[in-house]
Amino acid sequence: MKNKQIFSKTLLIFFAIPGGLSAQVHELPKLNYEYSALEPHIDAKTMEVHYTKHHQGYVNKLNAAIKGTEAEKHGLEYLMLNVSKFNTGVRNNGGGHYNHTLFWDILSPNAKSKPDGDLLKMINEEFGDFENLKLELEKAGATQFGSGWAWLILTKKGKLAVVSTPNQDNPLMDIAKVRGIPILGIDVWEHAYYLQYQNKRPDYLNAIWNVLDWAKVEENYKEAVKSKIKLL
């Protein structure tokens, strides 16, 4: 959580002083748990390769893609919100960096198994109940053709929505069909589950609820309502 707060504050500072920025270098965020911490639901080898190879790869390629360009002057959130103005390396690798940073943060070995408070009230209003929301997310993940992500987002109108995006796109991007602030994202690329679940993506999606921390999603929801919705 500390990492995420620092991350968000940094982004806010960048918004506050556009034009006065030195070159950005993006970095892999710290994981708050061991690679084996999410077992048996997500195995240690998958976590290690996913974090140290895939996510690190997106960070490295993002830094290469922005070097010497206008994109170097902006924080990650700005790049996502204005992604159509930048090269496809920013879209693919900036998306990869943003998406995985959110993903690690909402997973936990001590996950709160369901939301309550304002978020639960909103879920009940818009999806009937929590179980139904989970089914909608599993469906979005299972039916995303090829690689991509399933999301729970807060839309500009302040409503929740379940959507999916291809590749490393996300709903924050100005090119997304349905835009919103991501408060929960599930990686459905094969690299996220293939070692353990092989072709059984629905089994992975079903297991992930055991390590998905609704306390974090509640925080993301509050933050989105409070400060970020204006960005869209």
Min CB(97)–Mn ion separation in Å: 11
Shorter beta-carbon distance to Mn ion: residue 104 or 127: 104
Question: Should residue 169 be labelled a site residue for Mn ion when binding is judged by CB under 5 A?
Answer: no
As a whole number of angstroms, the distance between CA 162 and CA 50 comes to: 24
* Contact region with Mn ion (CB under 5 A), list: 70-78, 134-142, 182-190, 215-223: 182-190
| Pairing of β 181-187 and β 148-154 | antiparallel
Note whether 184 and 152 are within 8 A (CB): yes
Question: Should residue 105 be labelled a site residue for Mn ion when binding is judged by CB under 5 A?
Answer: no
Min CB(229)–Mn ion separation in Å: 26
Note whether 78 and 189 are within 8 A (CB): no
Shorter beta-carbon distance to Mn ion: residue 56 or 124: 56
Residue 128 region, left (φ>0) first, then alpha (ψ -120 to 50), else beta?
left
For Mn ion, the binding residue among 35, 151, 189, 193 (CB under 5 A) is 189
Min CB(107)–Mn ion separation in Å: 12
Tell me the β-bridge partners of 185. Answer: 151
Shorter beta-carbon distance to Mn ion: residue 98 or 189: 189
For Mn ion, the binding residue among 105, 136, 138, 187 (CB under 5 A) is 187
As a whole number of angstroms, the distance between CA 17 and CA 108 comes to: 34
As a whole number of angstroms, the distance between CA 113 and CA 115 comes to: 7
Task: Write out the binding residues for Mn ion, residues 106-125 only, by CB under 5 A.
Answer: none
Shorter beta-carbon distance to Mn ion: residue 115 or 141: 141
Shorter beta-carbon distance to Mn ion: residue 187 or 213: 187
Min CB(30)–Mn ion separation in Å: 17
Min CB(192)–Mn ion separation in Å: 5
CA-nearest of 121, 119, 124, 104 to 215 is: 119
Strand, coil or helix: 214: helix
Question: Should residue 98 be labelled a site residue for Mn ion when binding is judged by CB under 5 A?
Answer: no
As a whole number of angstroms, the distance between CA 167 and CA 169 comes to: 6
Amino acid present at 160: L
Min CB(168)–Mn ion separation in Å: 8
As a whole number of angstroms, the distance between CA 163 and CA 171 comes to: 8
- The residue number whose beta carbon is nearest to Mn ion equals 187
Strand, coil or helix: 200: coil
Shorter beta-carbon distance to Mn ion: residue 122 or 168: 168
Min CB(38)–Mn ion separation in Å: 14
Binding site for Mn ion (CB under 5 A): 187, 189, 192
